Chains A and B, each alone.
Chain A
Amino acid sequence: MHELSLSVSLIEQATEILKQESGGRVLALTLDVGVLSGVSPEALQFCFPQAAHGTALEKCLLKINEIPLLVYCSDCQAEEQVEGPYPLCPSCQGVDVAVRKGREFNIVSMEIE
Chain B
Amino acid sequence: MCDDCGEHESKVLHLERQVLSKNSQLAEQNRLWFKKHSMRAINMMSSPGSGKTTLLEKTTQAFCSFGKMAILVGDLQTELDAERLRTVGARALQINTGQGCHLDAAMIAGHLGKFIAGDERLLMIENVGNLVCPSAYDLGEQHKVALLSVTEGEDKPLKYPALFHQADLIVITKMDLVAFVPWSQAKAMDAILKVNPRAKIIRLSAHSGEGMDEWLQWLKES
Contact = CB atoms under 8 A, between A and B. Distances in A.
Interface string A1-24: 110011001101100010001001
Contacts of A13: 17, 19, 21-22
Q: How large is the interface on B (under 10, 10 to 19, 20 to 34, 35 or more residues)?
A: 20 to 34
Interface string B139-181: 0000000000000000000100111010000000000000000
A11 to B, nearest CB: 10
A110 interface: yes
B15 interface: yes
A34 to B, nearest CB: 9
B79 to A, nearest CB: 23
Q: Interface of chain B, helix or strand or loop or mixed? A: mixed
28 contacts: A1-B101, A1-B133, A2-B102, A2-B132, A6-B19, A9-B19, A9-B20, A9-B22, A12-B22, A21-B13, A24-B8, A27-B10, A31-B19, A36-B165, A38-B132, A38-B163, A95-B193, A105-B18, A105-B20, A106-B15, A107-B15, A108-B14, A110-B12, A110-B15, A112-B13, A113-B2, A113-B8, A113-B11
B53 interface: no
Interface of B: 2, 8-23, 100-102, 132-133, 135-136, 158, 161-163, 165, 193-197
B190 to A, nearest CB: 11
Given A1-B132, A2-B132, A10 B195 contact: no
B194 A86 contact: yes
A17 B19 CA distance: 12
Nearest to B133: A2
Contacts of B194: 86, 88, 95
Contacts of A21: 11, 13
Interface centre among B14, B19, B102, B132 (most CB of A within 10 A): B19
B121 to A, nearest CB: 30
Given A6-B20, A6-B136, A113-B8, 16 more contacts: A1-B101, A2-B136, A6-B19, A13-B17, A37-B162, A38-B163, A85-B162, A87-B165, A87-B196, A95-B197, A106-B18, A109-B13, A109-B14, A110-B13, A111-B13, A113-B2
A35 B161 CA distance: 10
A113 B132 CA distance: 36
B13 A96 contact: no
Nearest to B18: A106
